[in-house]
Amino acid sequence: MQHRKITAFFLLALGLTWGLQLPGVLVKLGLLAGPLSRVMPLLGLGAFGPLAAAVVMASVEGGGVARGALFRRFARGPVALGWWLLAPSLSGGLFLAARAVAGLAGYAGPWWYVPHTAETVTAAVVFSFGEEVGWRGYALPRLLPRFGAFGASALLGLVWCLWHAMMLAVEGLPLWLLFAFAPYFVAGSLCFTWAHLRTRGNLLVAVLLHLGSHLNNSHKALPGSLTPMLLHTAAFVLFAAVVWRVDPVLRTPPAALAEPAAP
């Protein structure tokens, strides 16, 4: 029964996001009258697909009690100070480390890909919240007891990657980039799972981890250059591999990762 709920959540999250962002793709293709700014509100609302899907599925499962349990994850703890420092800086820090190594080999690309306006900063915060309530608030705790840390992270990472398909099309990027993005999202998802397990499932830590990916976002170099994204991906894969090797919490048997039912 649980796998049906997860499948329904994924389909709903993808369907809501893709449905709201489809008009932007049609404008981009010239099949719908523009300008693109006319449908920008729909593009923004699409980022809340995982949040809306999580609220709907939690309501189906347990009404107000389940919805309350979903949002109480923001207050789970206690959480060590180090996580509050690591979460917003991990993704950007990994890119800087990869950029430094590439620089030794002669690469001369930028070090920073930061949001430059109040609108983009606000979007980064709001969209991180909208995604993580679904991905790490609803889906991950239900995937872990079935697939374990690695399997749950890989599955969630692939869906997370696929979820971005419409936005890629809106930005005029080729969809084959999803294949290049997949290792980034799978490795990143494993790092998020590590944080989830080490912070008792604190959802605010997940939001800060996600926000950190926007504060120095190598994907902003696309379509001009694929190199920053590849460097970032390599850094995430290496970091995830090290964490997997050194921290046994990621190798916890799936059955031991089940959470008690909400009161």
Q: Could you report the per-residue pLDDT of 127-157, keeping only the tens digit for each?
A: 999 999 999 999 999 999 999 999 999 999 9
**Is position 227 within any domain?**
yes
Q: By residue range, what is the domain housing residue 155?
A: 76-257
- Indicate the average pLDDT of the chain: 95
**Is position 20 within any domain?**
no
Q: How many domains does the chain have?
A: 1
For the cut 70, the answer to whether the pLDDT of residue 263 exceeds it is no
pLDDT tens digits, one per residue of 36-62? 889 999 999 999 999 999 999 999 999
pLDDT tens digits, one per residue of 155-168? 999 999 999 999 99
pTM strictly above 0.85: yes
**Is position 34 within any domain?**
no
**Is position 36 within any domain?**
no
Task: Please give the pLDDT value at position 34.
Answer: 78
**Is position 62 within any domain?**
no
Interhelix angle 81-104/227-246, rounded to 10 degrees, is 130
**Is position 252 within any domain?**
yes
**Is position 177 within any domain?**
yes
**Is position 124 within any domain?**
yes
